[in-house]
């Protein structure tokens, strides 16, 4: 019995040592995996680093592009589009106004009642509507017909008790957040789509006219009184509350900026006259690019695999539509090289699964 007991004890010890060795090996392997994962994160952080000196170089590069864009069309990555908006709201406006905001995978319809200085915004209603994926790459007629029908439903629901006459044509502010060559304050030609839209037959058309035709077809008595980019709308709203506001920046699904420029500084439109001596310029800075920007291998891969490669470089680095996929690419590489996510790593291979 003594020998048997001794043998059992030795066997247990061997098994225990083997288990301990396996556990220790796994722990060492796990530490190596996490160490590699941390190394990759540090590499990414270093690749994104922007010192004060580097930021100044980016600022200088953008200033050069701005001047070039004001001098001539096509002379810069910044389009520096004229908006024909030379006067901004100041809080004295009164009445009921409608607005349509189209600039991403959702659009908004709004109705606001303004009471002038002192009371300002008396009431407002807003509704959000998702745009079906097939309409983002279909025809312009289908897209604008869908928007017009939705707008009509909203107007009919919100018009109860309105002071406006039934037969009176309502005016609409149309926020269209894509590059447009403005022809007047209420009309503009679509230059190109961004943010995942590819309704090709709309390019080169007056988008305000497209919407008005769709509203007429839907039986909606309304006309576009102002066509602006969402960045111009942002500037207008801020100026409504603070008349010292002269610039605005949007970082959302996409990114853009605008500001009030002196008309005599816009060389490509010599002789442009405005009552205020200035006009709002839509920079379209999503297309800005400089070698001083901290572009990583993940940014390069995203751009190469996008439908608009070598376009909207700045937007792809900082806007909500793309940041989620940059994060996915970092995590996917960690999953491949460090194997820290196990079987769940498969989902990380799906593009834009983390889109914000």
What is the C-alpha to C-alpha distance for residues 266 and 287, in angstroms, rounded to an integer?
20
Residue 282: partners with Cβ closer than 8 Å, 6 or more residues away: 79, 80, 81, 82, 83, 182, 229, 231, 232, 256, 258
In the set 77, 195, 299, 316, the catalytic residue is: 195
Tokens representing 139? 């025809």
Q: Which one of the listed residues 86, 145, 230, 325 is annotated catalytic? A: 230
Residue 230 appears among annotated catalytic residues = yes
- Please name every residue paired with 106 in a beta bridge, in sequence order, or none if there are none: 130
Q: Does 169 participate in catalysis according to the annotation? A: no
Long-range CB contacts for residues 206-214, cutoff 8 Å, separation at least 24 = 207/174, 207/176, 207/180, 208/174, 208/176, 210/140, 210/141, 210/144, 211/100, 211/144, 211/147, 211/148, 211/174, 213/144, 214/141, 214/144, 214/145, 214/147, 214/148
**Hey, which residues are catalytic here?**
195, 230
């Amino acid at each position: 019995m003594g020998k048997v007991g001794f043998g059992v004890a030795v066997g247990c010890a061997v098994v225990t040592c083997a288990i301990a060795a396996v556990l220790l090996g796994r722990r060492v392997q796990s530490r190596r995996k996490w160490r590699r994962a941390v190394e990759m994160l540090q590499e990414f952080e270093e690749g994104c680093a922007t010192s004060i000196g580097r930021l100044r170089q980016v600022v200088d590069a953008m200033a050069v592009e701005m001047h070039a864009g004001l001098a001539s069309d096509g002379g810069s990555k910044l389009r520096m589009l004229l908006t024909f908006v030379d006067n901004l709201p100041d809080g004295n406006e009164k009445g009921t106004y409608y607005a349509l905001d189209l600039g991403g995978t959702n659009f908004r319809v709004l109705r606001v009642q303004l009471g002038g200085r002192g009371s300002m915004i008396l009431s407002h209603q807003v509704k959000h509507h998702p745009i079906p994926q097939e309409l983002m790459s279909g025809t312009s007629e289908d897209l604008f017909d869908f928007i017009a029908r939705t707008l009509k439903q909203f107007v009919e629901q919100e018009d109860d008790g309105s002071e406006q006459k039934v037969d009176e044509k309502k005016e609409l502010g149309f926020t269209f957040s894509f590059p447009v060559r403005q022809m007047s304050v209420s009309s503009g030609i679509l230059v190109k789509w961004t943010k995942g839209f590819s309704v090709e037959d709309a390019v080169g058309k007056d988008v305000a006219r497209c919407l008005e035709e769709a509203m007429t077809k839907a039986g909606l008595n309304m006309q576009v009184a102002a066509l602006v980019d969402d960045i111009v709308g942002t500037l207008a709203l801020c100026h409504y509350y603070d008349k010292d506001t002269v610039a605005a920046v949007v970082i959302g699904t996409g990114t853009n900026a605008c500001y009030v420029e002196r008309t005599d500084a816009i060389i490509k439109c010599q002789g442009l006259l405005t009552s205020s001596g200035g006009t709002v310029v839509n920079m379209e800075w999503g297309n800005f690019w400089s070698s001083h920007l901290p572009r990583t291998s993940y940014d390069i891969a995203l751009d190469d695999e996008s439908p608009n490669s070598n376009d909207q470089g700045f937007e792809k680095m900082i806007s909500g539509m793309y940041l989620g996929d940059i994060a996915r690419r970092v995590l996917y590489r960690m999953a491949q090289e460090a194997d820290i996510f196990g079987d769940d790593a498969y989902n990380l291979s799906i593009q834009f699964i983390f889109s914000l």
